[in-house]
Structure 1
Amino acid sequence: MGEAIGVAGAAAGIGVGAVFLGAGLAKLRNRRVFPGVVANYRLLPEPLVAPVAVTLPIAEVVIGLALFAGLRVAAVPAGLLLLAFAAAMAINIGRGRSHIDCGCGRPELRQPLSRALVVRNLVLAALLLPLLMPTPPVGSALWFVALAFGVALYLLTLLANALSALAQGPLAMERNSR
């Protein structure tokens, strides 16, 4: 049982770490527009928008690298960020502001807020729970299994994001208005 939890934790660390790393790097590449995304959530006082917009992508890259490297302690800030993102999205959806971009890191796939994104973040946070449990280190053969599952988790997250963005994109809106 401990070995299975260890493999699940390692897979989650790799998959969620890659999600954080990809999102943080995308935000850094688009750092000129990211403050507007943060401001659009209307949750922070104006003086905090710029500092959050600067530090959040860096934090995501650091957390992603730490998870990817197997540093179990990184599951705590990663989980807290995912829960904060889910809460920010849910608050704005509740306010009727689901049209704003989630800021998930892929500007080429502008992604309006949705319940699916909230659930995605909650699931990713829950997947990190095995990293908080004391388990023996994952052996080399099982590490490759964890790597395969971690990469699959990352790819499934990318696929879900792309499908969600496309389902809410201009072509889908045009088709639905007919």
Structure 2
Amino acid sequence: MTILAHGAAIGCGLIFLVAGAEKLRHRRLLPGVIANYRIVPAALAAPLAALLGPLEIVLALALLASGLGWNAPLADFAAAALLLVFAAAMATNLVRGRREITCGCGRLDLRQTLRWSFVARNLLLAALLGAAGANALLAPSATLDALALTSAIFAGLAGWIAYHLFQTLGELDAAAATLGRRH
């Protein structure tokens, strides 16, 4: 379990790092994306947008440190909680029938509409981080030898690559839909 927990923290850390960087890169678009969810008052969309990218980057760095051996269950649980908030916001809008809003996942300049698969993805990632946090609490002194740490790093990289493979497929679908609307 320890190798998988560390791998989950590394993989999710990389996911959060890229997501935070994308939110900073597209900081002008993000307030509109947050406002479109209609979860928080419109006046809070811009302040939340200003905080979200840096928060994701801080969580990413803490998750990467956790995955590399620093015992940080709080980082695992905080990142899991943020993923649950994202999943709840998406699910709320899907139940409302608001599928055509941009999810805010990945590249914000491509319009990826809400899907139940995004909710499931966030729930799965939150569960992995919850398990990683529980592992850190239950085995706080567990250290990884060089082989186990290498295995955890490769597991994290494999998870990150798989995530981005599916993310890219979603972005290609979004780009194709955008091109289809222009003709």
Residue-by-residue CA offset, 1:7-53 (whole Å, 9 max, x unaligned): 11100000001101100011001111110010010110122111111
The answer for the alignment partner of 1:142 in structure 2 is: 148
How far apart, CA to CA, are the structure 1 residues paired with 2:61 and 2:144? Answer: 18
| Aligned 8 A contact 2:111 2:174 in 1 | no
| Aligned 8 A contact 1:17 1:63 in 2 | yes
Stretches of structure 1 lacking an aligned partner (at least 5 in a row): none
The answer for the alignment partner of 2:69 in structure 1 is: none
How far apart, CA to CA, are the structure 2 residues paired with 1:41 and 1:60? Answer: 19
Q: For 2:176, which of 155, 170, 178 is the aligned residue? A: 170
What is the alpha-carbon root mean square deviation over aligned residues? 1.6
How far apart, CA to CA, are the structure 1 residues paired with 2:84 and 2:52? Answer: 14
Aligned length: 170
How far apart, CA to CA, are the structure 2 residues paired with 1:20 and 1:121? Answer: 12
The answer for the alignment partner of 2:132 in structure 1 is: 130
Identity fraction in percent: 42
State the TM-score, normalized to the length of structure 1: 0.89
SS at match of 1:107: coil
The answer for the alignment partner of 2:32 in structure 1 is: 36
- Is the deviation greater in 24-33 or in 126-135? 126-135
The residue type paired with residue 60 of structure 2 is: G
Shift in Å at residue 168 of structure 1?
A: 4.6
Q: For 2:49, which of 41, 48, 53 is the aligned residue? A: 53
Shift in Å at residue 173 of structure 1?
A: 8.7
- Is the aligned partner of 1:161 residue 2:173? no
Residue-by-residue CA offset, 1:64-84 (whole Å, 9 max, x unaligned): 110011133201110000001
| Aligned 8 A contact 2:15 2:60 in 1 | yes
SS at match of 2:39: coil
Q: What are the within-5 Å matches in structure 2 for residues 15-94 of structure 1? A: 15-70=11-66, 71-94=72-95
Residue-by-residue CA offset, 1:116-166 (whole Å, 9 max, x unaligned): 100000010111113322221222210000000100101111111121233
Stretches of structure 2 lacking an aligned partner (at least 5 in a row): 67-71
